[in-house]
């Protein structure tokens, strides 16, 4: 009898401790946030990731009634920023604005200071955007076919810029080379803004960069867009044809924008963040702002994002391996 009583007492104590822990987490979520949240961006200011982070942070701060500070930690294809967040306390006060690089880098880099799956808790995926094939307007071409012909007449003389080794811009360029048979040298920069500047100045001949980073430059004529890497034309740039329309199939690549937290972040805080981010993306003004910039808004659950990330890791593994891309 004593043994049975002891077992029951132990079980009751265990349940009590679990209940207490759950209550403590719920209480913490109710008070969250009670001091500033740091949102880390692995790129320099001015690029699509940075723009998305700052737009979301402003609306999210209002919904959470707190303060969100965007901190840029560029370098190593976002790995510096990602590793920093992975090592941060799992309390909801250090988050990462993660993009497709989170999925790409798992295959592209042989050694990382973090694991894209084990070291993060998915919070929300809130937007996606395709890339554009952008060229220096001084190049004597007006279409993708003309550009391919020009590149083949000047083998090895063209170079392309990207936001960094392993970025979707880099892999888009490598995939484009593979699909078209052209030769071009990759030149990585620390972010979309300097990569675009390189194309404008003629330091680079072309690049694959998303719409938010390049839309104003296209409209001002500082850079020329030849095609978009999407399955169909995009509302923000309806006059720009798809790569498939231009005769290059298999070039449906782009960037998605998400929020992840260090692994072990209390579930109630993850859920509160997810609901708040989805609410932010449903605000008409913010939603339209994203659309105008060339991003497609999304509002999904952490579970959806977890599966999405797993699928993206598998998809980009194939692209990295087939394009023979490597980190410079």
Per residue in 2-42, pLDDT tens?
A: 566 666 666 656 666 655 555 555 666 889 999 999 999 99
How far, CA to CA in Å, does 142 sit from each of 33, 149, 199? 51, 11, 16
pLDDT band, residue 253 (cuts 50/70/90): confident
Q: Span 83-95, mean pLDDT? A: 98
Domain 130-228 top-level CATH class: alpha beta
pTM for the structure as a whole: 0.78
CB 98 within 8 A of CB 306: no
Say which CATH topology domain 28-128+255-323 has: D-Maltodextrin-Binding Protein; domain 2 (3.40.190)
**Distance in angstroms (rounded) separating the CA atoms of residues 327 and 108:** 7
Q: What pairing do the DSSP bridges indicate for beta strands 94-99 and 254-262?
A: antiparallel
Quick one: which of 148, 137, 141 has its CA closest to 183? Answer: 148
- Per DSSP, helices labelled H in the chain are 2-31, 48-64, 79-86, 101-108, 144-153, 168-180, 192-201, 211-219, 267-281, 284-293, 302-323
Domains 28-128+255-323 and 130-228 share a fold: yes
pLDDT band, residue 97 (cuts 50/70/90): very high
* Angle formed at CA 17 by CA 12 and CA 21, multiple of 5 degrees: 150
Q: Span 207-229, mean pLDDT? A: 92
pLDDT at 310: 96
The kind and range of the H/E element at 110 are none
pLDDT at 58: 97
| Domain boundaries defined on the chain | 28-128+255-323, 130-228
How far, CA to CA in Å, does 197 sit from each of 90, 137, 222? 37, 13, 10
pLDDT at 211: 87
pLDDT at 242: 96
pLDDT at 26: 64
Q: Span 64-93, mean pLDDT? A: 95
């Amino acid at each position: 009898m004593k043994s049975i009583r002891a077992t029951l007492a132990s079980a009751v104590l265990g349940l009590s401790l679990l209940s207490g822990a759950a209550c403590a987490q719920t209480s913490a979520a109710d008070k969250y946030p009670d001091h500033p949240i740091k949102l880390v961006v692995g790129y320099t200011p001015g690029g699509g990731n940075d723009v998305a982070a700052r737009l979301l942070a402003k609306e999210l701060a209002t919904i959470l009634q707190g303060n969100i500070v965007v901190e840029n930690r560029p370098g190593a294809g976002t790995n510096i920023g990602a590793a920093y967040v992975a090592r941060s306390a799992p309390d909801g006060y250090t988050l990462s604005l993660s993009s497709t690089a989170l999925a790409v880098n798992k295959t592209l880099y042989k050694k990382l200071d973090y694991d894209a799956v084990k070291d993060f808790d998915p919070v929300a995926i809130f937007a996606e955007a395709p890339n554009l094939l952008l060229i220096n307007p001084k190049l004597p071409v007006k279409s993708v076919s003309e550009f391919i012909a020009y590149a083949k007449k000047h083998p090895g003389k063209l170079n392309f810029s990207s936001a960094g080794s392993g970025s979707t811009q880099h892999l888009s360029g490598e995939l484009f080379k593979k699909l078209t048979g052209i030769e071009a040298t990759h030149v990585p920069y620390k972010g979309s803004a300097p990569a675009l500047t390189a194309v404008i100045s003629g330091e680079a001949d072309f690049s694959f960069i998303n719409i938010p980073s390049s839309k104003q430059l296209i409209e001002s004529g500082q850079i020329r867009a030849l095609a978009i890497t999407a399955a169909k034309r995009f509302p923000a740039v309806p006059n720009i044809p798809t790569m498939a329309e231009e005769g290059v199939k298999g070039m449906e690549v782009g960037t998605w924008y998400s929020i992840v937290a260090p692994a072990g972040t209390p579930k109630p805080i993850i859920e509160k963040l997810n609901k708040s981010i989805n609410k932010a993306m449903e605000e008409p003004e913010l939603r339209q702002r994203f659309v105008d910039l060339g991003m497609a808004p999304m509002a999904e659950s952490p579970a959806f994002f977890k599966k999405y990330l797993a699928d993206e890791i598998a998809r980009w593994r194939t692209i990295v391996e087939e394009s023979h891309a490597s980190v410079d």
